[in-house]
Amino acid sequence: MLGIRRAGRRIADAVDLAYTRLSAPRRSVPAQRVLAVGIYKSPDQLVELVRALDNGLDTIDFRFGAMADSAPGLEQHTIATHMTAGKFQNANRLLEGVEEDYDWLLIVDDDVRIPPHFLSLMIEIASALDFSLSQPAQSRFSNANWQITRRRFLSLARETSFVEIGPVTLVRADAMKLLLPFPQDLRWGWGLDFHWAHVVKENGLRMGIIDAATVVHASRKVASTYSWDAAQAEGREYLATVGHLPPDVARGHGHTTHRRISSLSSR
């Protein structure tokens, strides 16, 4: 039975890849300024991600932090080493002193693989659908924590009321003003995405999951490097102090599935 399921997933992936190539909108958004931040323990996939993000169109700057020494291939982008705090605590440190005005903030983990044309697809579709906060879907073989984040068949994107805190998150400039700085006392980040959902809704913005830019997040299982119970306890304490949407928003498929997306130039 497991073999049949895996075969079915592979067939669905192949169909979705062909569908995306035929149906994804061509890039019509002008060149954007993007800041990518992330903290790494294992650098190999992050080195590949940096190369893959260079699309020859957008200006992308990197500000990475290392949990140990700076890694070969990432030296010029690593601005802090031996970081010991949590993901978003460290992200706050990496964002200190940033003076440039960026159109987008891209938050990346160190154990994710992105598809070709990833950045252009994310920016084009997020712009066309007016997503201020978005994430790529996770592949059917990924270690996804929430079912809503998994790739949906024959979908380019879905408008949702939930965007997860990882492994990749794209934040538009208007949402950056609302969501930054990140909570300094939240080490593991659990519950933060439900607060994000509340903030986005309260400010009349939109969010979604972009299936056309599906990533693979399979090298480490969720919560494999920290205590699940401690993270959940911290998350419950945090949510008791802030506005948030209920966990139900992370279930299901989303509100609207977009199987075709008109480019901005045709709107």
Q: What 3-state class would DSSP assign to 182?
A: coil
Q: In sequence order, what are the residues at sequence separation of 6 or more whose Cβ sits closer than 8 angstroms to the Cβ of residue 156? A: 20, 23, 24, 125, 210, 211, 212, 258, 259, 260, 261
Residue 150 φ/ψ, nearest 5 degrees:
-75, 150
Domain for residue 225, yes or no?
A: no
| CA pair distance 157, 154, nearest whole angstrom | 9
CATH of the domain at 86: 3.90.550.10
Range of the domain at 201: 2-220+231-266
Domain for residue 135, yes or no?
A: yes
The confidence score (pLDDT) of residue 267 equals: 39
Domain for residue 109, yes or no?
A: yes
Domain for residue 210, yes or no?
A: yes
| CA pair distance 259, 153, nearest whole angstrom | 10
What strand order describes the sheet that includes 168-172?
A: 78-80, 59-66, 33-40, 104-108, 168-172, 131-138, 206-215, 157-160, 256-258
Domain for residue 142, yes or no?
A: yes
The token pair at 4 is 């049949």
What is the CB neighbour count within 10 angstroms for residue 203?
A: 12
Indicate the number of domains in the chain: 1
Domain for residue 190, yes or no?
A: yes
Among residues 193, 189, 182, 183, the alpha carbon closest in space to that of 160 is found at 193
Domain for residue 118, yes or no?
A: yes
Q: In sequence order, what are the residues at sequence separation of 6 or more whose Cβ sits closer than 8 angstroms to the Cβ of residue 104? A: 32, 33, 34, 35, 123, 170, 171, 172, 173
| CA pair distance 10, 2, nearest whole angstrom | 12
The stretches of 66-107 forming alpha helices (DSSP H) are 87-95
The confidence score (pLDDT) of residue 20 equals: 92
Residue 103 φ/ψ, nearest 5 degrees:
-75, -30
One-letter amino acid of 180: L
Q: How many CA atoms lie within 13 A of 192 on its CB side?
A: 21
Per-residue pLDDT of the chain (267 residues; tens, 9 = 90+): 667 778 888 888 888 989 999 999 999 999 999 999 999 999 999 999 999 999 999 999 999 999 999 999 999 999 999 999 999 999 999 999 998 999 999 999 999 999 999 999 999 999 999 999 999 999 998 888 899 999 999 999 999 999 999 999 999 999 999 999 999 999 989 999 999 999 999 999 999 999 999 999 976 555 556 677 888 899 999 999 999 999 999 998 899 999 999 876 443
Domain for residue 226, yes or no?
A: no
The token pair at 26 is 């061509």
The confidence score (pLDDT) of residue 139 equals: 94
